[in-house]
Structure 1
Amino acid sequence: MAHFVRNPAPRRLGMAAAGVWAAGLLLSGCSYVSDELWPSLTGEDPAGSPPAPMAQQIPASPAEANPQPTLSPPTMGSTNFVVPGVTPGQATGTFVGQKVQQMRGELAQLQQQVTQRNQALQNVRNQATQNSQRYHGLVAAVSTRLQMGTTPGNPILISQWNQAQTQLDQMAADVNQLSSLGNQVAADSAMATYLLQSIKSTYSLSGAIDEDHRQLAVLEDETAKTVVLIDRLLGELSQDVARQTNYIGSERTNLTTLSAAIKQGELLGPALGNRATYFAGAQQFAAADTAMPVSTDGRTPLVVIRFDRADVPYQQALYNAVSQALARKPNAMFDVVAVAAGGSQAQAASNQNQARRNADRVLRSLADMGLPASRVNVAAASNAQSAANEVHVFVR
């Protein structure tokens, strides 16, 4: 069972206590750094407050000066996930050969389910796009009429606003379908991982012939490709749900503001809180596109997740740590670093792949917690002294 260790205050740490804390950090499945180790962001200057600077007028940017700024809805994923297929094989008559046939059938059934999930995803995406287009058409019609000027409480605009509200509810229903589909794909991911481990374990069974191992190698390769495909599908689903949820929440606030404008008979513009979010979000996405590899030298991780067993319960500790970091620094960015354990050349290559998959898993968890993908940077590292793969999360 994993233990989560919170650091005591630095001023109370003696040498012995520091050694005990370090040992607890290494033995824990997941640990995070307390707020007390963070530099103060609100402390007063001991030298006294400097004189207040003279106010300066900064001209508004073109976006801020626009009385009716607009933002297109977030783009949904567009990948069509096609399974690699299953290569048939001849029965060998051995016990291992029977196991291979059984697992080949399980893989075929799993791939069929993934194909159905993909078709459902494409249908929901098409439906969500149509609902979004109808919604924005209605909002644009109301905004244009208000901008031209109209009577307070115009019944035509009220009817269009009600239709827009219905379309927004349909968009929320689309997100619920994506969430439900994500749960199903998560179950497929667990099944695929279990099947891959079963195939690897079958190599050690006695009584096999060369043909059994040849078919096992083919089956292992196709199962590994299926695992990667399912992980990508799950990743896109998580990002779609997070982005659409945030966008719909913002649009509900905008509809409330638009309702007040209809009552007044003139355009007020979008909600003020959403304007800052929109412009900041655009800048964050632009910054994420040019993110450089992360250097971990000299930095203390916010969270260390050690994947030394199949199911590490890291989600609650990760959520608590990230929540506290955002409370201290609302515009914080995060670096997720996949740290691979050492070993022989073959083991090191396998650990690097597994560490990256673990990092993708942590990324999906952060997306499910509502953290925008634009605020996360990903990198990889290795540690020859580590006995298990780890994922380090840094805040900056």
Structure 2
Amino acid sequence: MLSALPRPRRFDVLIALAGLLGGLLLWGLGLGSRAADEPVVVWPGRWPILVPLAVMAGCELLRRTAPRQALLVATVAVFVDLLTQGNLVTVVMFTDVIYASVLYGPPAAARRVPRVTGIMSVAGMVVPYAMWRVPEALLIGVAVGVVAFAPAATGLIVRNHRDAAEAARLAAERTALLAEMDRVQAVTAERARMARELHDMVANHLSAIAIHSTAALSLDEPATTRQALGVIRENSVAGLAEMRRLIGILRDGSGDGEPAATPTLDGLDALVASARSNGLDVSLDVSLDGDAPAGVPAPVELAAYRIVQESLTNALKHAGPGRVFVVLRAGEGALSLTVTSPCGGHDGPRAPGSGAGLVGMRERATLLRGTLRAGAEDSPDGKVWAVRATLPTVEGDPA
């Protein structure tokens, strides 16, 4: 049974050793708590004093690792000490065992011990006074309160402060963890936003450069080569300007919103004109109700512009011969756009694709609580690739 008890702490060993040596010092000097002829002394003499003293020192070894067992044994030891001439150090160590039982014991014991010792203190005053009717009888309850209730109450106060400090520490750790999670999410969202911007701004120009440079290398026609080089130069200059704008955003560190030169729906005509100069046959049909585009929020305008831009880039890389249709409709709290292009039969040179464009378009629509679908569809003119997006222009989900 004793081998099953946990190993005592070093500080507890020092307390037990100090208590034992102090008690032995008082015992060696012949200083007892009571005279040998007092009525309560059942075992007079000096040697019986050492038994409760040694037991109480052993309880001090278990004050932190086994506080309940230490309190039970210490209570028996202090009663035995009352039947001898007594040792003051035994009583002092008993107060420490009570204090430790409240501070280190289970929560139920921490609440129960102060209540029990408080009741004992009150009973120690009331019962003797009722029996003897002398004021000195009240001192019994005072002694019980000093020896038992006071250390128990002190232990409860210290434990409450310790628990409050631990709760505050855990709350601070949770706050720090949530702050770190928010920071990581913010950094991730900002990286995703900059990745979308970089892809949408540059991919269109680089795709045109790749296609026309391939055509210039594969065709031995000076006129075609000169025309392709003109398109390449135009897209190189435009792409470089877009890159400089993005670098300016990163250097300014202004991640709160889009830059002042954010593309809007008014720039769709120029975007379509650029696509036509790259060789696409594009038709633009825009129908905006009311004061739109003034009534369309800037983030929705940017998302619509980028979705059309990426759709035209994909059409330039993958669409077959035929016309590409771009249709925008605004009204009833939402902006809807559709871009359709012929499927298959692409005879010219192709530019490689990574699929990041579709991912970016879906992310833009999702961030605005909108929807986006992209895939092959049947139409009267044959198989087409259609990109359909619905972006809400008012607060709340679109109808």
State TM-score, norm by structure 2: 0.24
User: Taking CA–CA contacts closer than 8 Å with sequence separation of 6 or more, which of the two structures ends up with the larger relative contact order?
Assistant: 1
- Higher share of residues assigned helix: 2
